[in-house]
Amino acid sequence: MEKSINIHQVARTCLILASVILLFFGILHLHGTFFSTDLYPKDLDLIEKLKISTIQMDESGIIWKLWIGFNAMFSVGLIFIGSVNLYLSTKHFEFIRAKSAILTLTICSNIFFVWTGNRYMISDFSISMAIPLIFFAIGYAIIRLKRLNYLK
């Protein structure tokens, strides 16, 4: 007895995997920001300089605090994107299938993360953002192709 593959289940699984990966890396980044020194410069003298350096726009903008704040906000952004997509993929998959705006914005965000990672950051970051991008893109492609009746 041959079982057929439910193509929507494949798409849903891809979206869930991508969402969990983003959520995981967001939590990992948040941990690295507040509970470890993984994101600190190796040069301890540089840290001290960053703690007294300000930005030109506002003297209260201390570079070290901005560094921590930007990393924390980025972490929460990943957690938010991963959580929203995980919730929609598990509880409201029909909504994602019918209205693809959130998924499109998620893919665009991930493209930007990968581009930024390649241009300004470390390769591990780019890879960690490319993996969910691939899963989101596969899920999106399956949904679109199924909607256009290219898939059974």
Q: Rounded mean pLDDT of 116-124?
A: 93
Q: Rounded mean pLDDT of 82-101?
A: 94
133 vs 94: CA distance, rounded Å = 21
77 vs 70: CA distance, rounded Å = 10
18 vs 41: CA distance, rounded Å = 30
pLDDT digits (tens, 9 = 90+) for 1-22: 556 678 999 999 999 999 999 9
Instruction: Give the residue extent of every domain in the chain.
Output: 7-147
Tokens of 152: 């059974």
**Residue 59: is its pLDDT beyond 80?**
yes
104 vs 106: CA distance, rounded Å = 5
Q: Give the per-residue pLDDT at 3.
A: 60
Helix ranges (H only) for 1-152 are 7-34, 44-50, 63-91, 93-98, 101-120, 123-147
Tell me what the pLDDT averaged over the chain comes to: 93
